[in-house]
């Protein structure tokens, strides 16, 4: 297992990378990471197009009941799967084990779900201290690959993080939104009416909501592109600047 990990990291095109990461059977031509059979168990297509929550197969609508009553501040949510085995492990390898080559196949799979791509992608930023620690921003790498697959533009520094905060995963849900107050700044000067925010994992959506509150009011459509999703319970958003009536929906 140790040599498999080392060789796959150094040379993703090696023979060890030609086997499904889940069932270990050989991959056919055009398959990446997982075989088609295993991918069907990972990829989820039947989920709420507003918040990403899994829908039961008996539900014909693409919007969950919660979003019909209280929609989130974005318009479309696209994600590849749930943040659980084995997708969780692959995201961890990409994020913490510097297996950068994973960005391309993951982005290609996610891009297949996106019907009307946003012309501009805005990755969720890291604070410069966290960026120095990690050496890269995984959301930016994902956004670059997505931009190439979707023929869109990636604004790597559209947002910057101006305040270093405790990791969101260590906080209670009620503390996450307050933790991010004043932590970001919008750098992009000119944005089209349709943009998308890119993140690797979405949990409560607190980071996305804080970023959306900074977007100018002329933006008509905001989408979210994420690799994996964990359930959320409630959406709240601050009004966008120059928009006293709140976010357009």
Q: 152 with 181, same domain?
A: yes
Same domain, 26 and 114: no
Does 2 have pLDDT greater than 50?
no
| Same domain assignment for residues 117 and 27 | no
Residues 136 and 27 in one domain: no
**90-104, 135-149, 160-174, 198-212: lowest mean pLDDT where?**
160-174
Residues 182 and 104 in one domain: yes
Mean pLDDT for all residues in the chain: 82
For residues 223 and 170, state if they share a domain: yes
Q: Identify whether residues 86 and 58 lie together within a single domain.
A: yes
Based on the fold, state whether residues 75 and 24 are members of the same structural domain: no
Residue pointed to by tokens 């700044």: 185
195 and 122 Cβ atoms separated by less than 8 Å:
yes
Of the listed ranges 81-85, 166-170, 224-228, 239-243, the least confidently predicted one is 239-243
Task: Examine residue 8 and state whether it is found in any structural domain, yes or no.
Answer: no
Q: Is residue 193 part of a domain?
A: yes
Question: What percent of the chain has a predicted confidence (pLDDT) above 70?
Answer: 78
In a domain, 237, yes or no: no
Question: Could you give the dihedral angle defined by the CA atoms of residues 111, 227, 230 and 19, in that order, rounded to the nearest 10 degrees?
Answer: 110
Residues 194, 146 share a domain = yes
d(CA 148, CA 236): 32
Which of these ranges, 107-111, 134-138, 165-169, 182-186, has the smallest mean pLDDT?
A: 165-169
CATH of the domain at 153: 3.40.50
Same domain as 141, residue 40: no
Report yes or no on 241 lying in a domain.
no
Is residue 4 in some structural domain?
Answer: no
Cis amide linkage into residue 86, ω under 30° from 0: yes
DSSP assigned state of 54: B
Largest CA distance in the chain: 57
Q: What is the pLDDT of residues 195-233, one digit of tens each?
A: 999 999 998 888 999 999 999 999 999 999 999 998 654
The H or E element containing residue 195 is strand 194-202
Give yes or no: residues 32 and 142 share one domain.
Answer: no
Domain ranges, residue 19: 15-44
Asked whether residue 134 is assigned to any structural domain, the reply reads yes
CB atoms closer than 10 angstroms to residue 97: 11
Our count of domains for the chain comes to: 2
User: In this structure, are 138 and 224 located in the same domain?
Assistant: yes
For the segment 166-202, what is each residue's pLDDT rounded down to a tens digit? 666 666 666 666 667 788 999 999 999 999 999 999 9
Q: Is residue 10 part of a domain?
A: no
């Amino acid at each position: 297992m140790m040599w498999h990990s080392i060789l796959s990291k150094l040379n993703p095109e090696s023979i060890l990378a030609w086997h499904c990461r889940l069932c270990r059977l050989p991959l056919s031509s055009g398959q990446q990471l997982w075989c088609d059979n295993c991918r069907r168990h990972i990829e989820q297509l039947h989920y709420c197009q507003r918040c990403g929550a899994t829908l039961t197969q008996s539900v014909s609508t693409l919007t969950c009941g919660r979003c019909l009553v209280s929609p989130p501040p974005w318009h479309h949510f696209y994600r590849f799967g749930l943040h659980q085995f084995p997708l969780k492990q692959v995201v961890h390898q990409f994020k913490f084990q510097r297996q950068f080559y994973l960005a391309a196949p993951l982005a290609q799979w996610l891009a297949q779900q996106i019907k009307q791509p946003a012309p501009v992608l805005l990755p969720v930023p890291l604070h410069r201290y966290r960026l120095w620690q990690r050496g890269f921003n995984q959301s930016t790498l994902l956004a670059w690959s997505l931009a190439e697959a979707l023929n869109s533009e990636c604004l790597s520094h559209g947002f910057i993080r101006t305040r270093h905060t405790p990791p969101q995963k260590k906080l209670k849900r009620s503390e996450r939104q307050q933790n991010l107050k004043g932590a970001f700044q919008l750098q992009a000067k000119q944005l089209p009416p349709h943009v998308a925010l890119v993140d690797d994992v979405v949990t409560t959506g607190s980071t996305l909501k804080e970023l959306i509150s900074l977007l100018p009011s002329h933006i008509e459509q905001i989408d979210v592109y994420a690799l994996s999703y964990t359930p959320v319970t409630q959406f709240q958003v601050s009004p966008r600047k120059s928009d006293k009536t709140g976010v357009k929906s």
